Amino acid sequence: MTAYLYIESRDPFDSADSRYFPDLVKGTRERGHKTTLFLVQNGVLPARKGSQFSDRFRELAEAGITIYADDFSLAERAIGAADTDSHVQSAGMDRLLDLLLEPDTKAVWH
């Protein structure tokens, strides 16, 4: 079965359509696909612990979706390990590349 890698680069505080993107991610998972969400650039901003999007990350994680946030983007925005939502794992380009190159994976950049 196809795996889906969703890459979110947009800040939900700035881009209203980012509020619907998690629905797509969760819907893919509910259809039985392995699903990963990788936050990058301003897409990492909601991963700051205590943000209004914490419940959304918890909901996605409980649905079986692995959530990563780009370590470089986190560092640029002064979001340290202690400041990162507990459902979000810090990861680098090495992890993103591994995910991209997994067989039968479709990658979607938003």
Partner 1 sequence: MSKTLTLALMDAPYEKAASTTALRLIHEALSRGHNVNVFAYEGAVNLTMADQKPHANPVKGTSLEEEDHPTTKEWIGSLFELAENKGATLKWINCGLCVDERGAGNWIPGPVRGGPPHFVAFAKSSDATLVIPTK
Judged by CB under 8 A, the stretch of 28-36, 46-54, 67-75, 81-89 that binds partner 1 is 67-75
Task: Identify the residue among 35, 36, 73, 84 touching partner 1 (CB under 8 A).
Answer: 73
Is 62 a residue that touches partner 1 (CB under 8 A)?
no
Closest CA to 90 of 75, 108, 70: 70
What gap in Å lies between CA 78 and CA 63, rounded to an integer?
Answer: 28
Strand partners, 109: 7
Cβ neighbours of residue 52 closer than 8 Å, sequence gap 6 or more: 46
In single-letter form, the type of residue at position 98 comes to D
Query: Which ranges of the chain does DSSP label H, i.e. alpha helix?
Result: 21-30, 54-62, 71-76, 93-101
Is 109 a residue that touches partner 1 (CB under 8 A)?
yes
Judged by CB under 8 A, the stretch of 24-32, 51-59, 61-69, 86-94 that binds partner 1 is 86-94
Report whether 55 contacts 22 (CB < 8 A).
no
Judged by CB under 8 A, the stretch of 8-16, 29-37, 51-59, 79-87 that binds partner 1 is 8-16
- For partner 1, give the closer residue by CB, 26 or 95: 95
Interface contacts to partner 1, rule CB under 8 A:
7, 9-10, 15, 40-42, 70, 72-73, 92-94, 96-97, 100-101, 103, 105, 107, 109
